């Protein structure tokens, strides 16, 4: 089996990236929030995360896309808190519930990665990783020395800075990238992140530059590449057609795209009448046809709503 990238990364390269991430965390510019707090000294910015990573849970997970799950499951590590904070967060119980988080040191995170590999996970799936890139790199350094060799999945909202993603170049094998809001107005209203559309588009293009379209092994298990998720929103709040046009114009036409119809009102969605609706199956089918018409040929064709975002 072809190993993941991490075994090919020299320890001194990893150390230099860790140093850079630590410097950025000391005056935090790791994500587009650009809070400029010193997380190494315990100051907290938007993500409420200091120097250590909050881990909500880790386990083999069978609710992700087929190429990630295979027969043995995806080794998910759910990080607590988030740098985006959508009011309708579909993982609200995890992202916002501090009592479910445990802060872990780098050696503990490395241990978690190794545990998941020993359990047979096809990959290490880092869920909501953007604010904990420093901890991830530190944990990988620990685990790489212990033989971690399965692909790393960066499972992100795409509210990422390109300069931070470059720290992961040659380390992350698979990017699993959300495409949430295409337009600034809903991004501002529902996540207080007016720049999300611009930042996410640049981030997705950088991810595509690093790993290209999805490659799988002979059993259909993901080895490398970009996988896109698009959660269709009520009232077209996500700008679905515009996203599909963006993908067709800027990414390989064989980029894996999962158009998801399982939106449900969660978190604070009840405070926004327009977020309390659902998305019809017909709407999802219409968008899938739109994608095909645009020449996008690698759509996740499972029935919409088949899989859950979390366990
Ligand atoms: S990672 Fe957290 S502290 Fe740093 S800029 Fe982003 S939200 Fe702010």
Could you give the CA distance from residue 33 to residue 25 in angstroms, rounded to a whole number? 12
Residue 299 lies in a domain: no
Q: What pLDDT, on a 0 to 100 scale, did the predictor assign at position 310?
A: 38
Residue 307 pLDDT level (bands cut at 50, 70, 90): very low
- pLDDT digit string, tens, across residues 57-78: 999 999 999 999 999 999 999 9
Q: How far apart are CA 273 and CA 34, in angstroms?
A: 31
Instruction: Give the helix/strand (H/E) hosting 144.
Output: helix 133-144
pLDDT at 298 over 70: yes
Q: What is the pLDDT of residue 91?
A: 80
pLDDT on residue 305: 44
**10 in a domain, yes or no?**
yes
In a domain, 305, yes or no: no
Q: What is the model's pTM?
A: 0.95
Statement: residue 213 has pLDDT above 90: yes
In a domain, 303, yes or no: no
pLDDT tens string 153-194: 999 999 999 999 999 999 999 999 999 999 999 999 999 999
The tally of domains found in the chain comes to 1
Distance 45 CA to ligand 1 centre (A): 5
Atom nearest to 44 CA in ligand 1 = 3
In-domain check, residue 212: yes
Tokens of 222: 């993901």
Distance, CA of 309 to CA of 90 (rounded, Å): 7
User: 55: domain CATH number?
Assistant: 3.20.20.70
Place 309 in a pLDDT band, splitting at 50, 70 and 90: very low
Average pLDDT value over all residues in the chain: 94
Question: Mean pLDDT across the stretch 80-92?
Answer: 90
* Residues of the chain above pLDDT 70, percent: 95
User: Does the CB atom of residue 46 touch ligand 1 within 6 A?
Assistant: yes
Mean pLDDT along residues 2-9: 77
Distance (angstroms) between ligand 1 centre and the Cα of 42 equals 13
The span from the CA of 282 to the CA of 232, in Å, is: 12
CA of 69 to the centre of ligand 1 (A): 30
34 within ligand 1 shell (Cβ under 6 A): yes
Tell me which long-range contacts 190-195 makes (C-beta under 8 A, separation of at least 24): 190/86, 190/87, 190/88, 190/237, 190/272, 190/275, 191/84, 191/85, 191/86, 191/87, 191/159, 192/85, 193/32, 193/33, 193/84, 193/85, 193/159, 195/32
Binned at pLDDT 50, 70 and 90, residue 308 comes out as very low
- Compute, in angstroms, the gap from residue 210 CA to the centroid of ligand 1: 23
**245, 162, 241, 239: which is closest to 206 by C-alpha?**
162
Q: Whose CA is nearest to atom 4 of ligand 1?
A: 28
pLDDT of residue 137: 98
Q: What is the pLDDT of residues 104-149, one digit of tens each?
A: 999 999 999 999 999 999 999 999 999 999 999 999 999 999 999 9
Nearest-CA residue for ligand 1 atom 5 is 34
Ligand 1: which of 21, 22, 49, 52 to mutate, most ligand atoms within 8 Å of CB? 49
Residue 279 lies in a domain: yes
Q: Is residue 215 part of a domain?
A: yes
Q: Which of the 8 DSSP states describes residue 185?
A: H
Q: Using 50, 70 and 90 to split pLDDT, how confident is the model at 278?
A: very high
For residue 110, the CA-to-ligand 1 centroid distance in Å is: 23
Task: Provide the pLDDT for residue 97.
Answer: 67
pLDDT score at 212: 97
Return the pLDDT at 269.
Answer: 93
What is the CA(161)–ligand 1 centre distance, in A? 11
Q: What angle do CA 67, 73, 78 make, to 5 degrees?
A: 100
* Rounded Cα gap, residues 228 and 308, in angstroms: 16
Residue 49 included in any domain: yes
Tokens found for residue 189: 């209203």
* CA-49 nearest atom, ligand 1: 2
For the Cβ of 31 lying below 6 angstroms from any atom of ligand 1, the answer is yes
Is a pLDDT exceeding 70 seen at residue 2? no
Residue located nearest, by CA, to atom 1 of ligand 1: 131
Q: Provide the domain limits for residue 25.
A: 5-293
């Amino acid at each position: 089996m072809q190993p993941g990238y991490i075994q090919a990364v020299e320890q001194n390269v990893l150390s230099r990236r860790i140093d850079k991430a630590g410097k950025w965390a000391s005056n935090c510019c790791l994500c587009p929030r650009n809070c400029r707090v010193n997380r190494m000294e315990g100051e907290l910015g938007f993500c409420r995360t200091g120097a250590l990573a909050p881990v909500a849970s880790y386990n083999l997970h069978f609710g992700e896309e087929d190429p990630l799950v295979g027969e043995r499951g995806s080794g998910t590590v759910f990080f607590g808190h988030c740098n985006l904070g959508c009011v309708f967060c579909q993982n609200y119980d995890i992202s916002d519930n501090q009592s479910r988080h445990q802060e872990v040191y780098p050696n503990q995170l490395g241990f978690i990665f190794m545990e998941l590999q020993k359990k047979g996970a096809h990959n290490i799936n880092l869920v909501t990783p953007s604010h904990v890139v420093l901890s991830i790199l530190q944990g990988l350094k620990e685990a790489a020395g212990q033989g971690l060799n399965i692909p790393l999945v960066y499972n992100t909202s795409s509210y990422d800075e390109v300069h931070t993603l470059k720290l992961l170049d040659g380390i992350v094998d698979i990017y699993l990238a959300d495409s949430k809001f295409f337009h600034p107005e809903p991004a501002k209203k529902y996540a207080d992140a007016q720049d999300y559309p611009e930042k996410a588009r640049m981030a997705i293009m950088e991810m595509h530059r690093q790993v290209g379209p999805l490659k799988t092994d002979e059993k259909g298990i993901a080895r490398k590449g970009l996988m896109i998720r698009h959660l269709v929103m009520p009232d077209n709040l996500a700008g679905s057609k515009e996203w599909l046009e963006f993908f067709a114009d800027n990414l390989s036409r064989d980029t894996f795209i999962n158009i998801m119809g399982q939106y449900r009102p969660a978190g604070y969605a009840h405070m926004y009448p327009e977020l309390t609706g659902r998305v019809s199956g017909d709407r999802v089918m219409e968008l899938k046809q739109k994608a095909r018409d645009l020449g996008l040929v690698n759509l996740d064709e499972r029935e919409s709503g088949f899989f859950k975002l979390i366990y």
